[in-house]
Amino acid sequence: MSTPLQVYEPFRAGLPPLRKYWRSLWSRRTFISEYSRSELREQHFDSIFGQLWLILNPLMLSAVYFLLIVIIGGSGGAIRYGHLTASLFLFYLVSNSLSGGVKSVTAGQRLILNTAFPRMMLPISATVIAFFKFIPTLLVFMIMRTVLGLPFGWQMLWSIPIILITLIFSLGVAILISTVNVYFRDIASFLPYLIRTLLYLSPILYEASALKPELRVLEHFNPLFSILESWSLSIVHAQTPQLSSMLVATGWALGVLLIGTYFFLSREREFAVRL
């Protein structure tokens, strides 16, 4: 008698066999790229004007916020504007991942009910889509900082690991929120408030260094604080970010990814009966 191709047994400790899960996830990477591409195409981001909108949207937003800062705070300047724009662009990577991830599982209902596949592909695709939307804004910022005359330096290379950390964090929150949305379908309507709060608590409209010492406690509670502080230092100021905030950022990102993944995997078996 031949050996079975597939064996389905109850999960131990509520988790699927991880090695097998990872293997089937890896073998379906073409799905993730194909899905992201067709999703972007469907949102018209393959056209010139679609791409333009992608850049125009945060650009106009940064212009509006700049106006606000100048009126309230009185201080403008190229660095300030550069900081605002760069931070908003990175913030959008996280926020796009959140808003794309939240419905990724519930929207995949038909596929989930009909096909056996690692469900985690769905929130992963949402993060990949958010990353694809982020790339053109990065190019725009590079042009912009040249025009603004911001300092250049090798320290700007620190932004590469920071983007990586942000991606890990974005993936973590996308996975986490997609699971929560299965149980509470109205989470998506709370999301704008959450994102807005996160925006104001993060060093985007202000610089981390300008914050009053008593408000610095924010950095311990806001996972984006250390990420955005390091990001601004490296890509706007061309300075080496502090090792401590890089470590805190990495810790947050990995922690959120780990918790999100555990939560997702332990609930995944229920998705088909909960949708």
Partner 1 sequence: MSSLSVSNINHKTGDLAVSVQNLGLTYTTAIDRRPTLKARVKSLGRGTKQTRVVQALDNVNLDVTYGQVLGVIGTNGAGKSSLMRTIAGIIPPTKGRIEVFGSVSTLLALGIGFNPAMSGRANVHLGGLAAGMTRKEIEDHFDEIAEFSELGDAIDAPMRTYSSGMYARLGFSVAATVQPDILIVDEALSTGDAHFKEKSFNKIKELRSEDRALILVSHAMATLREICNDVAWLHKGKLVTRGKPNQVIDEYQDFLHLGKSSAIDEDL
In one letter, which amino acid is 185? R
* Residue 53 binds to partner 1 (criterion: CB under 8 A): no
**Nearest in space to 148 (alpha carbons), one of 57, 66, 71:** 66
Backbone angles phi, psi at 12, to 5 degrees: -85, 135
Query: Which CB sits closer to partner 1, 58 or 100?
Result: 100
CA atoms lying within 13 Å on the CB side of residue 229? 25
Query: Which CB sits closer to partner 1, 38 or 244?
Result: 38
* Residue 42 binds to partner 1 (criterion: CB under 8 A): yes
* Residue 185 binds to partner 1 (criterion: CB under 8 A): yes
* Residue 193 binds to partner 1 (criterion: CB under 8 A): no
Query: Which CB sits closer to partner 1, 39 or 57?
Result: 39
Tell the smallest beta-carbon distance from residue 270 to partner 1 (Å): 7
* Residue 214 binds to partner 1 (criterion: CB under 8 A): no
Residues 6+ apart with CB under 8 A from 240: 155, 158, 233, 234
CA distance 239 to 250: 19
Contact 175, 123 (CB under 8 A): yes
* Residue 194 binds to partner 1 (criterion: CB under 8 A): no
* Residue 190 binds to partner 1 (criterion: CB under 8 A): yes
* Residue 272 binds to partner 1 (criterion: CB under 8 A): yes
> Where does residue 221 rank: exposed (0-12), middle (13-18), buried (19+ CB within 10 A)?
exposed
Which two structure tokens, joined as six digits, stand for 246?
């890089």
Tell the smallest beta-carbon distance from residue 89 to partner 1 (Å): 27
* Residue 187 binds to partner 1 (criterion: CB under 8 A): yes
| Helix axes 223-235 and 187-201, enclosed angle (nearest 10) | 50
**Nearest in space to 39 (alpha carbons), one of 115, 116, 113, 96:** 96
Tell the smallest beta-carbon distance from residue 182 to partner 1 (Å): 9
Backbone angles phi, psi at 115, to 5 degrees: -135, 145
In whole angstroms, what separates CA 183 from the centre of its chain? 22
* Residue 9 binds to partner 1 (criterion: CB under 8 A): yes
| Number of residues near partner 1 (by CB under 8 A) | 47
Per-residue binder mask for partner 1 (CB under 8 A), 85-114, x = binder: ----------------------xxxxxxxx
Query: Which CB sits closer to partner 1, 154 or 184?
Result: 184
List 6, 48, 71, 213, residue binding partner 1 (CB under 8 A): 6
Contact 189, 195 (CB under 8 A): no
**77 torsion bin: left (phi>0), alpha (psi -120 to 50), beta (else):** left
List 118, 203, 223, 260, residue binding partner 1 (CB under 8 A): 118
Residues lying near partner 1 in the complex (CB under 8 A) are found at 1-2, 4-11, 16, 20-21, 24, 27-28, 30-31, 34-35, 38-39, 42, 107-118, 121, 183-187, 190, 269-270, 272-274
